[in-house]
């Protein structure tokens, strides 16, 4: 209501004010055009060559691309394309670079200088979601490594290249309501404040990976699907402290980060959405991961980010939000839950999973896409079995691993046990996978085993052999 009163208070004043705001932010944000880019991950054994991939990126009308390394084949293909490029220092080098300026200089010389400026490298990201890892030695070396890389870029006179690091939303201890946004106490003084100080001093960005999908999937009862998908005309949320009204989950999550930075003493640092997206598929026990929902989310998020004049968020209106949509391909070698392998805009064969245009010029709702069938949680039993035709050596190793975990995981498939027969590797591995998953799923175990396992609703039990299952 407060916002509505402000919006209707003085029409003439508003007419004069909006162009002024727009002009100011247009001038100050000239280098950060909001045109979304795409994340080009490479964790797949069936992905096209970089030359084909760059053609696909161009077909998306992407303004920028982010890679998770400094793959020379990709960087060469990006020469003279006018696509802004983000590259990454691998996690395992952070501690070494933090303590060695010569190593930092050599890394920049080998991975940036040799391609610049024909390849339009604009961002060097040091590590990926470091604070989501248990290695707190790397945590404390993160900002020192960023300082080293920055000095190296300055030494080579690469003034247009910014340094940052992408963090996940788990860097926050509190995110709801947005006005209560606060960083994790364990890293605020040791990592976050030095990071914000560095970003502020170098006029860089706070890079954040923001996935409304995971927030919604963790609480689909209280968070409405339309709110997470950025659908129009859905009931919003009003922050009880600020009175700011939120119309979608993305802007709510972004403002939580803004308020956390404000609480840490840095209210004016710019945000860069390092990753966002929605899975086009997943495991049976994963809600809402579908081609239709992915198409709707990405269509809406592109509209949100490219709106003119700039929309920003309720707390930071009119501010550009540069971004990357995750990801270019479905990557079949990504570990973890099934959704991890289903965020692509393209299948590995280069065909589009659904129509998408990152420029924001084509915003029609997707047509002819399969209606989602998993917007409600699956109810029933699920088993985890071995993939048919899997490599026998790898399957044997996975069987040994599963049997070495849990409590009596593989007792019934030992000789003389109820599930020993049929005496086949596939049968024994399937039992071991189901038993392992049923015991340890609540502790974070997945039905994946490096791609050797798959979920099924078909009961593999036979005779007196009863396979353990997960019941939802």
Helices 101-108/136-155 angle, 10° precision? 60
For all residues of the chain together, what is the average pLDDT? 92
Confidence of residue 33 (pLDDT cuts 50, 70, 90): low
DSSP string, 88-149: EE-GGGHHHHHT-HHHHHHHHIIIIITTTTTS-EEEEEESSSGGGSS-HHHHHHHHHHHHHH
Q: What is the mean pLDDT of residues 12-39?
A: 52
Q: Any catalytic annotation for residue 376?
A: no
Active-site annotation holder among 31, 92, 173, 275: 275
Confidence of residue 35 (pLDDT cuts 50, 70, 90): confident
Active-site annotation holder among 129, 251, 331, 340: 129
Confidence of residue 362 (pLDDT cuts 50, 70, 90): confident
Confidence of residue 364 (pLDDT cuts 50, 70, 90): low
Confidence of residue 363 (pLDDT cuts 50, 70, 90): low
Q: What pLDDT score was predicted for residue 223?
A: 97
The CATH H-level superfamily of 31-341 is: Glycosidases (3.20.20.80)
Q: What pLDDT score was predicted for residue 406?
A: 72
Judge whether residue 5 has pLDDT over 90: no
Q: Any catalytic annotation for residue 275?
A: yes
Distances in whole angstroms, Cα of residue 72 to Cα of each of 108, 116, 162, 330, 411: 13, 12, 20, 22, 50
Q: What is the mean pLDDT of residues 30-55?
A: 89
Please give the residue that has the higher pLDDT: either 136 or 68.
68
Q: What is the mean pLDDT of residues 7-32?
A: 39
| pLDDT tens-digit readout, 374-417 | 999 999 999 999 999 999 999 999 999 999 987 889 999 999 99
Distant-in-sequence, close-in-space partners of 191: CB < 8 Å, separation ≥ 6:
131, 139, 140, 142, 143
Question: Between vectors from CA 15 to CA 10 and to CA 18, what angle results, nearest 5°?
Answer: 110
Question: Between vectors from CA 319 to CA 142 and to CA 23, what angle results, nearest 5°?
Answer: 130
Q: What is the mean pLDDT of residues 94-105?
A: 98
| pLDDT tens-digit readout, 231-285 | 999 999 999 999 999 999 999 999 999 999 999 999 999 999 999 999 999 999 9
Judge whether residue 9 has pLDDT over 90: no
Judge whether residue 140 has pLDDT over 50: yes
Q: What pLDDT score was predicted for residue 360?
A: 85
Q: What is the mean pLDDT of residues 214-236?
A: 96
Distant-in-sequence, close-in-space partners of 466: CB < 8 Å, separation ≥ 6:
418
Q: What pLDDT score was predicted for residue 405?
A: 87
The long-range contacts involving 399-406, CB below 8 angstroms and separated by at least 24 positions, are 399/425, 399/428, 399/429, 399/432, 401/449, 402/429, 402/432, 402/433, 402/435, 402/436, 402/449, 403/432, 405/436, 405/439, 405/440, 406/435, 406/436, 406/439, 406/440
Judge whether residue 449 has pLDDT over 60: yes
Listed residue (436, 439, 430, 423) closest to 459, CA to CA: 430
| pLDDT tens-digit readout, 289-308 | 999 999 999 999 999 999 98
Tell me whether strands 121-126 and 84-89 are parallel, antiparallel or unpaired: parallel
**Any idea where the domains of the chain sit in the sequence?**
31-341, 381-471
First to last CA, the chain: 42
Judge whether residue 146 has pLDDT over 70: yes
Beta bridge partners of 84: 64
259-283 as b/e: b if 16+ CB within 10 A:
bbbebbebeebbbbbbbbbbbbbbb
Euclidean distance between CA atoms 62 and 84, whole angstroms: 9
The helix or strand, by DSSP H or E, that contains position 194, with its residue range, turns out to be helix 193-202
Q: What pLDDT score was predicted for residue 1?
A: 36
Q: Are 196 and 206 in contact (CB under 8 A)?
A: yes
The long-range contacts involving 361-365, CB below 8 angstroms and separated by at least 24 positions, are 361/61, 363/299, 363/302, 363/303, 365/296, 365/299
Judge whether residue 365 has pLDDT over 70: no
Judge whether residue 21 has pLDDT over 50: no
Q: Which two tokens stand for residue 153?
A: 């870029």
């Amino acid at each position: 209501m407060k916002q509505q009163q402000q919006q209707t208070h003085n029409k003439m004043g508003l007419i004069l004010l909006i162009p002024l705001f727009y002009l100011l932010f247009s001038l100050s944000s000239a280098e950060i055009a909001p045109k979304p880019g795409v994340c080009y991950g490479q964790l797949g054994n069936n992905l096209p060559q970089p030359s084909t991939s760059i053609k696909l990126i161009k077909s998306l009308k992407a303004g920028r691309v982010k890679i998770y390394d400094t793959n020379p084949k990709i960087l060469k293909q990006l020469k003279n394309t006018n696509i802004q490029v983000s590259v990454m220092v691998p996690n395992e080098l952070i501690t070494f670079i933090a303590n060695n300026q010569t190593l930092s200089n050599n890394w920049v010389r080998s991975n940036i200088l040799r391609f610049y400026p024909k390849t339009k490298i604009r961002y060097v990201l040091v590590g990926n979601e470091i604070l989501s890892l248990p290695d707190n030695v790397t945590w404390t070396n993160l900002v020192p490594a960023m300082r080293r890389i920055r000095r190296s870029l300055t030494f080579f006179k690469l003034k247009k290249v910014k340094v940052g690091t992408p963090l996940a939303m788990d860097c926050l201890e509190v995110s709801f309501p947005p006005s209560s946004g606060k960083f994790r106490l364990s890293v605020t003084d040791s990592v976050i404040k030095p990071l914000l100080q560095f970003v502020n001093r170098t006029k860089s960005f706070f890079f954040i990976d923001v996935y409304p999908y995971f927030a919604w999937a963790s609480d689909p009862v209280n968070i409405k699907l339309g709110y997470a998908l950025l659908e129009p005309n859905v009931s919003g949320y009003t922050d009880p402290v600020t009175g700011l009204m939120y119309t979608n989950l993305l802007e709510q999550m972004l403002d939580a980060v803004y308020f956390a930075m404000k609480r840490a003493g840095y209210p004016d640092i710019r945000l860069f959405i390092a990753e966002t997206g929605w899975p086009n598929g997943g495991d049976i026990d994963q809600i809402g991961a579908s081609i239709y929902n992915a198409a709707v989310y990405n269509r809406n998020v592109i509209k949100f980010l490219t709106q003119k004049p700039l929309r920003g968020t309720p707390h930071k209106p009119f501010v550009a939000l540069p971004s990357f949509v995750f990801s270019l391909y479905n990557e079949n070698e990504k570990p973890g839950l099934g959704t991890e392998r289903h965020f692509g805009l393209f299948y590995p064969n280069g065909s589009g999973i659904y129509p998408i245009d990152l420029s924001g010029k084509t915003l029609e709702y997707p047509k002819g896409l399969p209606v989602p069938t998993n917007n409600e949680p699956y109810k029933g039993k699920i088993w985890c079995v071995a993939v048919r035709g899997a490599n026998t050596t790898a399957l044997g190793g996975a069987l040994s691993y599963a049997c070495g975990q849990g409590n009596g995981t593989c007792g019934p498939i030992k000789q003389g046990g109820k599930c020993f027969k049929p005496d086949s590797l596939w049968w024994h591995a399937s039992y071991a996978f189901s038993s392992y998953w049923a015991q340890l799923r609540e502790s974070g175990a997945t039905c994946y085993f490096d791609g050797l396992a798959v979920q099924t609703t078909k009961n593999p039990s036979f005779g007196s052999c009863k396979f353990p299952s997960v019941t939802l």
